[in-house]
């Protein structure tokens, strides 16, 4: 016997459509503001300092950078959009008619929250990888435009590889454009891992160039210096590695620039190299908690807009909802900062603010609906 499918009534579909329209309008406004701010900022930093850069190039850079910022501010789209939709329904007495017909507030709020969860899942599994790829391309294009302007300290690339016996810290002055992973003026600091896990300096290798091939670094014009021994010069030298082009480039990226689907592999590879993966774990848990945060913002916004218009104070209550939404957002950012500083476990830092916001919204809704 097949299980009955969950079907929405016409009123529930109507409220959900109005809610999604409000969220879409709020997202359009947020997107326009972010694009304008990014365009002005990039015009000031890139357009003035880089050569032969047109306004269209700057706008293209803004289009590449903006999606990552939009995803961070997407909870506000649900907060403002749902709040505007329900206040509008309240002002037109549509909520009053629904309540008079015996329809519980849960009936038209839960479909909106369910839609927020679905959009949150889509954001994590599809939009986040797209935004990460665009952000990575933004970094490359901006670096090419600013070539010759950035100081050497900002162009330097640091990598780390290793296993249970050896750890190698790699520094390259810059990356050769057009090559997959090819570094200039490279220094490799090799450490041996003792039985107690302590690192003991073993040798240093300097080379004019190093490029990553399958399973090894190939060095040219290398000099190897070992403690207590004379330095040895090599025309070419090969160093085994467990890095590949994909993981090596991700090691140089911030956690926000790593796509959702790549985070588990990056965490394993980073910890396998003896490096802390706290920021990557924090990013993974934050993405997993995104649907809960979207639903919490939707329920909070709806709960603050159910007050009957004839009773007055709706505008003040809606303003309080907006203020509480900002509190939740800054609490989330503060919790993430504590997680990055290892003061909170990544799971606790990422999941606590969304769950608290969800519980606050449900509690307020229970108080409003059931007394």
Burial class (CB in 10 A: 0-12, 13-18, 19+), 121: middle
**What local confidence, expressed as pLDDT, does residue 249 receive?**
60
Q: What is the pLDDT of residue 162?
A: 75
Instruction: With respect to residue 158, please indicate whether it lies within any of the assigned structural domains.
Output: no
pLDDT of residue 146: 67
Based on the domain organization, do 90 and 169 belong to the same domain?
no
Reduced 3-state DSSP string for the chain: CCCCCCCCCHHHHHHHHHHHHHHHHHHHHHHHHHHHHHHHHHHHHHHHHCCCCCHHHHHHHHHHHHHHHHHHHHHHHHHHHHHHHHHHHHHCCHHHHHHHCCCCHHHHHHHHHHHHHHHHHHHHHHHHHHHHHHHHHHHHHHHHHCCCCCCHHHHCEEEEEECCCEEEEEEEEEECCCCCCEEEEEEEEEEEECCCCCEEEEEEEEEEEEEEECCEEEEEEEEEEECCCCCEEEEEEEEECCCCHHHHHHHCCCHHHCCHHHHHHHHHHHHHCCCCCHHHHHHHHHHHCHHHHHHHHHHHHHHCCCCCHHHCCHHHHHHHHHHHHHHHHHHHHHHHHHHHCCCCCHHHHHHHHHHHHHHHHHHHHHHHHHC
Q: Give yes or no: residues 101 and 174 share one domain.
A: no
pLDDT score, position 293: 93
CA distances for 177 relative to 180, 188, 215, angstroms: 8, 21, 22
Report how many domains make up the chain. Answer: 2
Q: Is residue 267 part of a domain?
A: no
pLDDT attached to residue 3: 47
Domain carrying residue 31: 10-146+281-370
**Do 116 and 214 reside in the same domain of the chain?**
no
Last residue of a domain, one of 241, 269, 302: 241
Query: Among residues 213, 241, 269, which one ends one of the domains?
Result: 241
Task: Kindly report the pTM of this predicted structure.
Answer: 0.77
**Residue 140: its pLDDT value, please?**
75
pLDDT of residue 29: 92
The pLDDT score that the predictor gives to residue 4 is 46
Q: What is the CATH number of the domain that holds 211?
A: 2.30.30
Residues 6+ apart with CB under 8 A from 334: none
Tell me whether residue 29 is in a domain: yes
Q: Which of 239, 241, 250, 232 is nearest to 132 (CA)?
A: 250
170 and 117 co-located in one domain: no
Strand order in the sheet with 166-175: 157-162, 166-175, 182-193, 199-213, 216-226, 232-240
In a domain, 155, yes or no: no
Q: For position 89, what pLDDT does the model report?
A: 82
Give the pLDDT of residue 288. Answer: 94
Domain limit, last residue, from 241, 266, 296 = 241
* pLDDT given at position 153: 44
My answer on whether 140 and 170 are in the same domain is no
> Do 131 and 227 have their domain in common?
no
- Shared domain for 89 and 170, answered yes or no, is no
Percent of the chain scoring above 70 in pLDDT = 84
271 in any annotated domain: no
Kindly state whether residue 154 falls inside one of the protein's structural domains: no
Residues 225 and 314 in one domain: no
Tens of pLDDT along the chain (371 residues)? 444 445 777 877 888 888 899 999 999 999 999 999 988 888 887 755 556 777 888 888 889 888 888 898 899 899 899 888 888 887 877 777 777 777 777 777 888 888 899 999 999 999 999 998 888 788 777 767 766 555 544 557 778 777 767 888 888 876 655 556 778 889 998 888 877 767 788 889 999 888 888 888 899 999 998 877 788 888 888 888 877 766 666 555 567 778 888 888 888 877 766 667 888 899 999 999 999 999 999 988 888 777 665 555 666 777 777 888 888 888 988 999 898 888 889 999 999 999 999 998 888 887 766 65
Residues 119 and 226 in one domain: no
How much is the pLDDT for 314?
Answer: 63
């Amino acid at each position: 016997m097949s299980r009955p499918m969950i079907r929405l009534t016409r009123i529930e579909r109507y409220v959900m459509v109005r809610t999604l329209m409000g969220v879409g309008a709020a997202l359009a406004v947020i997107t326009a503001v972010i694009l304008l701010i990014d365009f002005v900022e990039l015009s000031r930093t890139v357009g003035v300092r880089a050569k032969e850069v047109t306004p269209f190039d700057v706008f293209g850079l803004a289009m590449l950078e903006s999606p990552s910022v939009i995803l961070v501010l997407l909870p506000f789209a649900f907060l403002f959009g749902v709040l505007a939709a329900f206040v509008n329904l309240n002002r037109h007495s549509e909520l009053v008619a629904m309540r008079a017909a015996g329809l519980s507030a849960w009936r038209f709020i839960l479909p909106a929250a369910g839609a927020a969860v679905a959009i949150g899942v889509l954001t994590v599994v599809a939009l986040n990888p797209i935004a990460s790829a665009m952000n990575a391309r933004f970094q490359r294009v901006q670096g090419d435009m600013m070539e010759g302007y950035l100081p050497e300290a900002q162009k330097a690339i640091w990598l780390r590889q290793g296993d249970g016996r050896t750890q190698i810290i790699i520094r390259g002055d810059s990356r050769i454009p057009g090559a997959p992973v090819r570094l200039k003026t490279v220094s490799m600091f090799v450490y041996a891992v003792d039985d107690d896990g302590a690192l003991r300096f073993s040798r240093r290798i300097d080379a004019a160039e190093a490029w990553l091939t399958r399973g090894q670094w190939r060095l040219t014009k290398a000099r190897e210096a070992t403690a207590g021994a004379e330095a040895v010069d090599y025309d070419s030298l090969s160093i085994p590695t467990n890095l590949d082009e994909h993981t090596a480039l991700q090691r140089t990226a911030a956690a926000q620039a790593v796509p959702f689907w790549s985070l588990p592999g990056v965490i394993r590879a980073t910890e396998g190299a003896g490096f802390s993966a706290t920021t990557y774990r924090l990013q993974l848990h934050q993405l997993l908690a995104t649907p809960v945060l979207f639903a919490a913002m939707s329920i909070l916004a709806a709960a603050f807009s159910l007050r009957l218009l004839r009773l007055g104070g709706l505008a003040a209550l809606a303003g309080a909802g907006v203020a509480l939404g900002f509190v939740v957002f800054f609490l989330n950012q503060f919790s993430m900062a504590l997680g990055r500083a290892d003061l909170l476990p990544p799971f606790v830092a990422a999941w606590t603010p969304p769950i608290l916001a969800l519980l606050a919204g449900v509690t307020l809704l229970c108080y409003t609906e059931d007394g």
